[in-house]
Structure 1
């Protein structure tokens, strides 16, 4: 595992690769969480996470679904690949001036029962189910999340 200083060097020098989870329910709503951490702190964002060095996509997907949603053992094959996206942020996890964060994001979509509680609170302070048209209209939903629905 990298130290925070080493990881900041990676953020400064290279893009990160991540998976975002486009979680829908039977009513067509989408799960978003209000971010606790940089980048995008305070905005509503779909759950997701970075892929680790030497981690296979299948393993990363399963880990991220568990870490972000509390659902153990979900397989990537159960989700629909939604495309590749690019997220650029002017800040970084350490709030170091002059270092932005660049993500290459693989989006995966799947449906869950909204009556079943999901979400862990390490990365998000709260969760909400929003209709896509409401999500796109809100000022507090991050533009990178809105891009999945425009």
Structure 2
């Protein structure tokens, strides 16, 4: 369920958002990062992921995000993923305004892929980095680094 912008802005202002982050690894064990085009975390490298929609089960949200963020149409489910835990992300800004903070409750899941990844509109580019590379990369968001 998508909300009108003004309604969603009010939700961001008053409640935390629930999301799923996908820690995607290739056959070499490298981690997929996308360069974000939207606030919060605009311009930073971040793992793919997204919000859970109202009345959407976690299983359905997971499959949708794998499809939308990675271009993988089938074969990867939440049961295939390793649950890494619950994380909290706090930002000073939001997608609408710089003076409205955003609070995410994030469910982190690790998956391994062999397929090619399709570029998604939330990211301007994708890279694969080792854990050591991303930990040292100043352009990788702090919250992404917290998964490792």
Secondary structure of 1:120's match? coil
Q: Could you tell me how far 1:75 is from its partner in structure 2?
A: 1.2
Query: Normalised by the size of structure 2, how large is the TM-score?
Result: 0.95
Q: Cα gap change, 1:97/1:131 in structure 2, threshold over 3 Å: closer, same or farther?
A: closer
- Alpha-carbon deviations, 1:80-117, whole Å to 9, x = none? 101000000110011x242100000000001112xx42
Q: Which residue of the other structure, out of 90, 93, 114, is the alignment partner of 2:92?
A: 90
1:78 aligns with 2:80: yes
Q: What CA distance in whole angstroms lies between the structure 2 residues aligned with 1:87 and 1:69? A: 22
Partner Cα distance (1:66, 1:121) in 2? 10
**How many angstroms apart in 2 are the aligned matches of 1:24 and 1:97?**
32
Task: Give the match's secondary structure for 1:99.
Answer: coil
Residue by residue, what CA displacement relative to the aligned partner does 1:63-85 show, whole Å, maximum 9, x if unpaired? 01111000013211111101000
Q: How does 1:93-112 map to 2 (within 5 A)?
A: 93-94=95-96, 96-112=97-113
State the 4+ residue runs in structure 1 displaced beyond 6 angstroms: none
| 1:1-150 alignment runs, 5 A limit | 1-73=2-74, 74-94=76-96, 96-113=97-114, 116-149=115-148
Distance (whole Å) between structure 1 residues aligned to residue 9 and residue 72 of structure 2: 30
TM-score (norm 1): 0.94
**Deviation of the 1:28 alpha carbon:** 1.5
Unaligned runs of 5+ in 2: none
CA distance in 2, matches of 1:32, 1:135: 9
Cα RMSD (Å) of the superposition? 0.9
Equivalent residue of 2:146, what SS?
helix
Deviation of 1:119 after TM superposition, in Å, equals 3.1
Partner-residue secondary structure (3-state), 2:10: helix
Tell me the matched-pair count: 146
> Which ranges of structure 1 fall in alignment gaps of 5 or more residues?
none
